[in-house]
Chains A and B, each alone.
Chain A
């Protein structure tokens, strides 16, 4: 369990972190997601103790490690960190790298063997980092960070240096591994599919602030504001009018039970709209971009509004055809 309260940090008059608070229950994998430069790496380094916070407190399992007058050194925090460029020690073998953090451990050999097994590195134990592939190096970095049995594991863009084909497999392996080991972990990423697929708790950051946190599905389907909504995926922002608990927009009506009457905006994901061939329909297909697994279709509506719709490949509409567009999934009313 880790708890952050109102962490602030500025560099040369520029506020990088403007008061970030959150807590992560023990054993969970949380993903800190946000665009490049939103302060997520700085936050990670502050948690690790490599950077200091201007104000705020951090506590792990009730032990305060950052706070007014308290600044526990990184080497005494028991927090593991997997660096973006991995930072493997180039002059040490895989085994020596993994053993490095267990200087005073009594069961060093057993623990090392266990880590090698967990990360499937037994056959590579005597290699040097430069003799390993990107995915193998990444596993060594994770094994090294986990070996001393840290209270918390931090991962800074752990897949940044892997090529796209490898990423997916390595990510799945890592999530499984962390689940098995049960260490509380925070992973930083700017890749939305990585964030959505890996996280148990998703924390969305932008410009030094935490915008929203919760389960990936919650955040994707019910974002608290437009920024969270667009950071997590494509969608259309439509004008709507709410009257008597019903919101009406150009694509029809949706339930808005807890909303007061008046004008609002409706955010609908591109895949939550269906198109039907209909001579009577109001929409005209303008064009379509084909992506293989699906395609993105632009539909012109009366009044010049253009919406984007993600269509599965077997039912891609032909440009020029007349269609009727309907909302077919969850959507969010934003103020």
Chain B
């Protein structure tokens, strides 16, 4: 219990220190308030919120359209479409941004388009470019919950509304929408939070949201107090969005009656073929163009040895780092998950929530907070891999808790009691019962953290020892230096790794089967 609490609290230390230090340094007074109300800050807040609003709205609309098409209609090729529309999950946003920058640059797949349109190179940047890229690669975050909500929804309510004399549209608004409202809000919330935390894509596309500003202030100006204040402002924004989500979710209106639901299915009639181009356009923009572009750049580069020389060490570093981080995270998450599964109480729920805080925080903020803590208390570990892993632990602890908890749920106390009454002492119980049942949960927790670590950018960028690289920082560096051909290989490797996780995810949700 105490162990769990200390793990949870340890994860919170950097953020707490960030707060304390900032207030201490600025005296909590004039500098803070002048910062908060300066025009610059308001501008960054406006950009962050604006981007979040645009991306969330667009993503939710796309997700809703796709979910209705693939989940509640007689669209042709529904199974294929379902798989296609979650594919963008495999492409990290910053990889997507890098790819699109490369696509529109001279020699890129659509480089010619810029010439024809008569716009200068580099036009693909800023707010709207960021919104475009983020929408393309985050809509699956909204799609998955809405799709799940639809398959839990019940046609009976719709039929009841119609039998009470409502028109088709009104029946839909009153009988159907409330049923998927909860999952829509949850999906939009995830997109909004992701957009606010996103660092790589907005930075590459030079859109001045808080995450980019924090990095710029830290890196170029060495204005650490400014960076800390921006971080706190960003955390406050995230808190605000979470509150908004809580408020929007409101009462539980899912109206579960306990009976197995009969999901809705619309007959689209002659419109049914219209859904296919819709899915097609989205897939073309989010998967087709990026993949084609990457392969095209790769085709031009893969004969050059220097690229391999640079990528191979980065690949090895990434793999080693990810394995170590995943092992550490799983070990640290074990006690908390066990507590949550075996001894459910107010305290254990609270501890579980604490570990979730890191998950909600942007990587750049955690990285910055860690820099502060380390420079103040443990300067020796500054710029070592240890501190990078500490960052991963804080970021991904919550990801491991879920599957591990499910693992412990599979090996509940009564099973151990049963083994005891059958004469098994604890080593045998552990070896024959608990561990075998825990293995699936542990391996999926490991895989989840492993993949997340390989994709992670801001934390790595901020904390990694100078001169060393992972795949993600290589992509970052090559894109900054307009070396698009060189970034193709690391991007491909990352996408392949993520695709593994998406495949696992789709398989676990049993979505393909459910569609059948």
Contact = CB atoms under 8 A, between A and B. Distances in A.
Interface of A: 48-50, 73-81, 83, 85, 87-91, 100-101, 103, 144-145, 148
B410 A87 contact: no
B418 A89 contact: yes
B424 A100 contact: yes
Contact of B420 (A50, A89, A144): A50
Contacts of A48: 417, 421
Given A48-B417, A83-B417, A101-B424, 5 more contacts: A49-B420, A75-B423, A87-B417, A87-B418, A103-B424
13 contacts: A74-B420, A79-B421, A80-B421, A80-B422, A81-B421, A87-B414, A87-B417, A89-B415, A89-B419, A89-B432, A100-B422, A101-B422, A148-B422
B499 interface: no
Interface residues of B, number: 17
B437 interface: yes
A75 B433 contact: no
Contacts of B415: 87, 89
* 6 A-B pairs with the lowest CB-CB distances in the bound complex, closest first: A101-B422, A87-B418, A74-B420, A81-B421, A87-B414, A75-B420
Nearest to B422: A101
Interface in B398-440: 410, 414-415, 417-425, 428, 432-433, 436-437
A274 to B, nearest CB: 45
A172 B425 CA distance: 34
Nearest to A91: B436
A75 B437 contact: no
A48 B422 CA distance: 11
A100 B421 contact: no
B417 A100 contact: no
Contacts, number: 59
Contacts of A79: 421
Contacts of A77: 421
B430 to A, nearest CB: 13
Contacts of B423: 75-76, 78, 101, 103, 148
Contacts of A49: 420-421
Given A90-B410, A91-B437, A100-B432, A81 B424 contact: no
A100 B419 contact: yes
Nearest to A73: B420
B335 to A, nearest CB: 23
Nearest to B423: A75
A335 B329 CA distance: 69
A83 B425 contact: no
B421 A90 contact: no
A329 B428 CA distance: 58
Contacts of B424: 75, 100-101, 103
Given A91-B436, A91-B437, A144 B414 contact: no
A81 B423 CA distance: 11
Contacts of A148: 422-423
Contacts of A74: 417, 420-421
Contacts of A144: 422
Most chain B Cβ neighbours within 10 Å, of A76, A77, A90: A90
Contacts of B433: 89
Nearest to B415: A87
A145 B421 contact: yes
Most chain B Cβ neighbours within 10 Å, of A80, A81, A83, A87: A87
Contacts of A78: 423
A160 to B, nearest CB: 14
A81 B417 CA distance: 9
Contacts of B422: 75, 80, 100-101, 144-145, 148
Most chain A Cβ neighbours within 10 Å, of B415, B417, B418, B424: B418
Nearest to B428: A103
Contacts of A73: 420
B428 A50 contact: no
A100 B415 CA distance: 12
Contact of A90 (B425, B428, B437): B437
A202 to B, nearest CB: 24
